[in-house]
């Protein structure tokens, strides 16, 4: 009896200690094997031998009148009780102590090393909506494996469980980007819940050893700190078992939170995505690289997703991951958008052929801007969100699509939902900030960008967003500082040297502009962004022929680019081909065509003014006048500055309408508010050029340029402004 009790105690203690020390599960099985083999030996010894005051003797040699067996039995009973108490205490500690406090020895972090989470008062998700009862955050799982490199595998399982939960319509699930901020945190469940806006938190750990995997999880009520559910899964390491465990965890969470699962949701939770473990791990690595949103990380994501597809061509999610990587490379890596979308579309089509119930695939297909019209795109976005309601990218990309159509209020709703689901996501808040700019809430937008830097000081896009806001608010000197910071953090992104070259040139810093342009050409000699920079700089430098050559490349890559369209249109006017310019505009913006009744909205009002100028030159003054009046009506109540602001659109309209006094008054107001972007291609302002007031206003603008140029040059000379990365 003593042997059995002692063996049980040893197994319980080993279970806890081996887990804490990250020892492979095979060690625990080895201990069990030794104890089993030792049992018959102990049984024989206890039968043949007896403990006496003179030592251990053979039982047949002991005088029965001198035996102390009763006393020994009493001591053994006491020892058994003590061992049972120790075992119960060990199990209680393992089961009841919160997972966050049971940090493995190799993962111990000192208080100074603990990452600081953003202040709940500033970033809490409750700003958007109260935490729903069926809301949950899944904290990063602890890697309890012996190998440090298994952290990618552990994070992949964590990410996949989040993806599964996000497909349950009755749950509100916080995305990975936000929960990652609480890796190894010392904050309480209540504090974490306040920041993330949830009522429940899942935490756990994963141990991978040889051909076995062990996952333990527990669900905690944030308000009461009660454990709602806990389980340990110890299985053979196969993809089927991994997906089974994830499905069981997701189903158990739904049951614990009393969430309703539709038959289709149950079916989706039970479906395995791949049967190839190496493909699964490559996909995990690709997802983690994709989330970083830099040119280098996207190249890494592309490599991992391609590897996953090579290992398993029928891995639908890997196909979607590679497609999304291609789309994002058009933004962050200077690739041609049309070429990247051409690469992405077959991958999405294949993913849908493999599994037509993946919401992520419909979201990706809807983002194919060159091939999908807005009505079809909206249907795809809605279907994708219906299938994966917690998929943050779905809300984010749908919101951006609505914003591009000028449906700013609807866009704001989608982007606020994205931030509610992922409150510590930098890119979600960046897009929300852009939507806030579109509705004129510039300070709110700035707060979003600055909040991103509080969350992640190394997120380059936050600096570029601040730089864009500063540019459109008349502070190009501040913008140069922000874009320099962005370029230092993501030197492979061609947007940043492009913007720097243009801003230096606008301010009169030709040498600095050439330096930024040289940097751009060295990195991306044939990219769309290089052509865009050549187009703008050639125009600013008074070389229209070179500007037109570059504009053709720009228009071929992005047919809707407004500057490329305008420069090509002006070239057509010089050649006497006004109607050709009109037709090019109508092809790029069909809503403004006479065939569709010339629909002017928040997204195309500035384009409509340019088209009106070309229509006048083509002799169609009636259509031109309609466009001007509708554009003027559209911008009523808008903000002048910021992304989505109307700038000096009103000035151009009044100038073309011959209302010189109103045009000059609007220009005066614009400059007083901070607008200083007046370009050589603003030929629609020509009726004002001879006016003394116009010349005085432009002299004021040029003085601001000179002052800002001097300021940034002083900052550069004194080391306050970091040099552009080589």
What residue ranges define each of the domains in the chain, with the CATH number in brackets?
A: 2-96 (no CATH), 118-270 (3.40.50.10610), 556-688 (1.25.40)
pLDDT at 211 over 50: yes
pLDDT at 32 over 60: no
- Between these two residues, 578 and 62, which has the higher pLDDT value? 578
Q: What tens digit of pLDDT does each residue of 456-495 get?
A: 899 999 999 999 999 999 999 999 999 999 999 998 899 9
pLDDT at 144 over 70: yes
The pLDDT confidence band at residue 30, using thresholds 50, 70 and 90, is low
pLDDT at 320 over 80: yes
Element (H or E) spanning 208, and its range?
strand 200-209
pLDDT at 126 over 50: no
Please state, in angstroms and as integers, the Cα–Cα distance from residue 157 to each residue in 108, 175, 387, 521, following that order: 22, 14, 21, 41
Q: Are 654 and 670 in contact (CB under 8 A)?
A: no
How far apart, in whole angstroms, are the C-alpha atoms of residue 282 and residue 7?
Answer: 42
The pLDDT confidence band at residue 220, using thresholds 50, 70 and 90, is very high
pLDDT at 415 over 80: yes
> In this structure, what token pair is assigned to residue 495?
């947007």
pLDDT at 321 over 70: yes
pLDDT at 115 over 50: no
How far apart, in whole angstroms, are the C-alpha atoms of residue 420 and residue 598?
Answer: 37
Q: What tens digit of pLDDT does each residue of 333-360 get?
A: 878 778 888 999 999 999 999 999 889 9
- Between these two residues, 96 and 288, which has the higher pLDDT value? 288
The pLDDT confidence band at residue 542, using thresholds 50, 70 and 90, is very high
Q: Residue with structure tokens 């029928």?
A: 314
What's the mean pLDDT when you consider all of the chain? 83
Averaged pLDDT, 692-710: 96
Of 276, 273, 322, the C-alpha closest to 300 is: 322
Q: Are 367 and 327 in contact (CB under 8 A)?
A: yes
Determine which of 111-115, 253-257, 311-315 has the lowest per-residue pLDDT on average. Answer: 111-115
Q: What tens digit of pLDDT does each residue of 488-510 get?
A: 999 889 999 999 999 999 999 99
Please state, in angstroms and as integers, the Cα–Cα distance from residue 350 to each residue in 115, 313, 362, 373, 529, following that order: 41, 9, 12, 21, 31
Supply the DSSP string of 620-677, one letter for each residue: -HHHHHHHHHHHHHHTTT--SSSTT--TTHHHHHHHHTT-HHHHHHHHHHHHHHT---
Residues 6+ apart with CB under 8 A from 304: 282, 283, 285, 286, 289
Averaged pLDDT, 368-395: 87
Classify burial at 298, counting beta carbons within 10 Å of its beta carbon; exposed 0-12, middle 13-18, buried 19 or more: buried
How far apart, in whole angstroms, are the C-alpha atoms of residue 320 and residue 330?
Answer: 16
The pLDDT confidence band at residue 11, using thresholds 50, 70 and 90, is low
Determine which of 164-168, 188-192, 363-367, 371-375 has the lowest per-residue pLDDT on average. Answer: 371-375
pLDDT at 202 over 50: yes
State residue 726's pLDDT score. Answer: 60
How far apart, in whole angstroms, are the C-alpha atoms of residue 628 and residue 613?
Answer: 9
pLDDT at 621 over 90: yes
Q: What tens digit of pLDDT does each residue of 629-644 get?
A: 999 999 988 889 888 8
pLDDT at 114 over 70: no
State residue 260's pLDDT score. Answer: 80
pLDDT at 257 over 60: yes
Averaged pLDDT, 375-394: 92
State residue 107's pLDDT score. Answer: 31
State residue 13's pLDDT score. Answer: 57
pLDDT at 78 over 90: no
């Amino acid at each position: 009896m003593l042997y059995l009790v002692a063996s049980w105690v040893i197994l319980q203690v080993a279970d806890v200690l081996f887990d804490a020390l990250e020892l492979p599960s095979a060690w625990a099985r080895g201990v069990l094997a030794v104890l089993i083999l030792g049992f018959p030996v102990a049984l024989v010894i206890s039968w043949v031998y007896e403990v006496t005051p003179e030592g251990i003797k053979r039982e047949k040699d002991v005088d029965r009148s001198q035996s102390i067996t009763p006393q020994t039995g009493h001591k053994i009973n006491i020892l058994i009780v003590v061992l049972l108490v120790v075992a119960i205490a060990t199990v209680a500690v393992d089961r009841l102590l919160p997972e966050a406090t049971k940090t493995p020895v190799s993962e111990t972090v000192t208080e100074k090393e603990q990452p600081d989470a953003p202040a709940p008062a500033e970033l809490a998700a409750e700003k958007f909506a109260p935490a729903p009862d069926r809301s949950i955050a899944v904290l990063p799982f602890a890697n309890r494996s012996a190998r440090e490199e298994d952290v990618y595998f552990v994070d992949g399982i964590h990410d996949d469980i989040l993806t599964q939960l996000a497909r349950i319509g009755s749950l509100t699930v916080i995305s990975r980007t936000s929960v990652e901020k609480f890796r190894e945190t010392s904050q309480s469940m209540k504090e974490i819940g306040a920041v993330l806006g949830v009522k429940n938190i899942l935490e756990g750990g994963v141990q991978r050893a040889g051909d076995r995997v062990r996952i333990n999880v527990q669900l905690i009520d944030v308000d009461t700190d009660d454990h709602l559910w806990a389980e340990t899964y110890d299985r053979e390491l196969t993809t089927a078992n991994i997906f089974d465990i994830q499905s069981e965890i997701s189903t158990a969470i739904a049951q614990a939170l009393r969430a309703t699962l539709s038959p289709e949701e149950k079916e989706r939770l039970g479906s395995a995505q791949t049967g190839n473990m190496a493909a699964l791990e490559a996909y995990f690595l690709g997802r983690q690289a994709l989330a970083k949103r830099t040119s280098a990380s996207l190249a890494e994501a592309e490599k991992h997703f391609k590897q996953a597809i090579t290992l398993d061509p029928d891995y639908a999610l890997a196909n979607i991951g590679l497609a999304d990587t291609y789309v994002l490379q058009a933004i962050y890596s200077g690739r041609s958008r049309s070429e990247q979308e051409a690469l992405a579309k077959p991958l999405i089509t294949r993913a849908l052929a493999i599994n037509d119930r993946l919401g992520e695939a419909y979201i990706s297909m809807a983002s194919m801007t060159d091939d999908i019209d807005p009505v079809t795109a909206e249907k795809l976005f809605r279907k994708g969100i219906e299938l994966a309601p917690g998929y943050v990218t779905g809300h984010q990309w749908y919101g951006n699509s609505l914003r591009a159509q000028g449906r700013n209020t609807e866009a704001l709703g989608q982007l606020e939902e994205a931030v509610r689901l992922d409150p510590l996501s930098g890119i979600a808040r960046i897009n929300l900030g852009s939507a806030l700019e579109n509705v004129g809430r510039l300070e709110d937008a700035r707060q979003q960008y600055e909040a991103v830097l509080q969350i992640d000081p190394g997120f380059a896009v936050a600096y570029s967003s601040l730089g864009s806001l500063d540019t459109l608010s008349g502070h190009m000197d501040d913008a140069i500082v922000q874009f320099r910071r962005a370029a230092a953090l993501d030197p492979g992104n061609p947007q940043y040297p492009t913007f720097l070259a243009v801003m230096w040139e606008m301010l009169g810093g030709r040498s600095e502009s050439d330096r930024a342009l040289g940097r751009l050409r060295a990195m991306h000699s044939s990219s769309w962004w290089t052509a865009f920079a050549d187009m703008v700089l050639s125009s600013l430098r008074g070389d229209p022929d070179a500007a037109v050559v570059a504009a053709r490349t720009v228009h071929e890559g992005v047919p809707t680019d407004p500057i490329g369209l305008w420069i090509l249109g002006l070239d057509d006017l010089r050649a006497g081909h006004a109607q050709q310019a009109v037709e090019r505009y109508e092809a790029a913006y069909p809503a403004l065509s006479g065939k569709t009744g010339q629909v002017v909205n928040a997204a195309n009002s500035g384009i409509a003014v340019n088209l009106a100028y070309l229509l006048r030159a083509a002799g169609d003054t009636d259509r031109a006048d309609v466009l001007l009046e509708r554009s003027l009506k559209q911008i009523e109540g808008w903000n002048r500055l910021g992304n989505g602001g109307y700038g000096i659109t009103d000035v151009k309209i009044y100038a073309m309408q011959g209302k010189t006094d109103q045009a000059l008054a609007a220009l005066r107001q614009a400059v007083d508010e901070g607008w200083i972007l007046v370009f050589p291609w603003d030929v629609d302002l020509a009726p004002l050029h001879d006016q003394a007031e116009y010349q005085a206003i432009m002299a004021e603008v040029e003085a601001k340029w000179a002052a800002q140029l001097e300021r940034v040059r002083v900052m550069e000379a004194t080391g306050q402004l970091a040099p552009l990365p080589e």
